[in-house]
Amino acid sequence: MLKELLIAVSCIIAYLLGSLSGGIIISRLAGGPDLHTVGSKSTGASNVQRTMGWKYGILTFFFDAVKGILSCLIAWVITGSHFASLLAGLCCVIGHNWPVFFRFRGGKGVATTGAVMLYCYPLPALICIAITVAVIAAFRYISVGSMLLVIVFFGLSFAFSGGNPCVIIWAALLMVMCVARHHANIGRLIHGTENRLGNKTNPSGGLHDQ
């Protein structure tokens, strides 16, 4: 009973950590715009980069990645359970996407998801990150690379988990959340209007962000 309680506590902490939106916090500290009203109107690193510059975009990316790792680490310290780290990481991504502190309006969770994957399963995560970076470098579509990150990771989960259904379901949930949050990007990709990395901000909001 105590272990279940500790797992629940670690998940609550992880959700609250996830709800600390790096983009909004950094934008406010730097005197930047309300991210909910500019660019893609989302809070991730790409929207910050396009509206405030690379320096702030990189800071946002690392902020969102670190909170994912911290969530998993705290869960491990509290419970000593890898399963708890999986659940906490998932809750952190949920918090990033739907933050309680910012009216449940967050980002797409790519940086946080990648960090959680890296903490929980480093080798397959590094493979997926390498594929993501290569695709983005080749085609300059952050959205495509981001979705490939979670899709390939889910595919690999059958092997690196030894067929563990809990891990496969966990990887599937990360994938579904990420792809679902990219629904607008998918539509633009289909119509050939998706924004490429390095292009100027489209005031209509036709952007991808983490």
| Domain that residue 128 falls in | 2-191
Confidence at residue 29, expressed as pLDDT on a 0 to 100 scale = 94
Question: Quick check: 107 and 87 in contact, CB under 8 A?
Answer: no
Within a domain: 205: no
Within a domain: 210: no
Within a domain: 209: no
Q: What is the mean pLDDT of each run of 10 residues along the chain (210 residues)?
A: 94 98 94 85 85 92 97 97 98 97 93 98 97 94 95 97 97 98 92 78 42
Q: In the chain, how many H helices and how many E strands? A: 10, 0
Within a domain: 101: yes
Within a domain: 206: no
Burial class of 81 by CB neighbour count within 10 A (0 to 12, 13 to 18, 19+): middle
Within a domain: 15: yes
Confidence at residue 158, expressed as pLDDT on a 0 to 100 scale = 97
Both tokens of residue 24? 């909004």
164: region left, alpha or beta (phi > 0 left; psi from -120 to 50 alpha): beta
Question: Quick check: 173 and 90 in contact, CB under 8 A?
Answer: yes
Confidence at residue 114, expressed as pLDDT on a 0 to 100 scale = 97
pTM of this structure? 0.91
Within a domain: 203: no
The number of distinct structural domains making up the chain is 1
Confidence at residue 201, expressed as pLDDT on a 0 to 100 scale = 52
The DSSP 8-state label assigned to residue 36 in this structure reads: G
Within a domain: 124: yes
Question: Quick check: 120 and 86 in contact, CB under 8 A?
Answer: yes
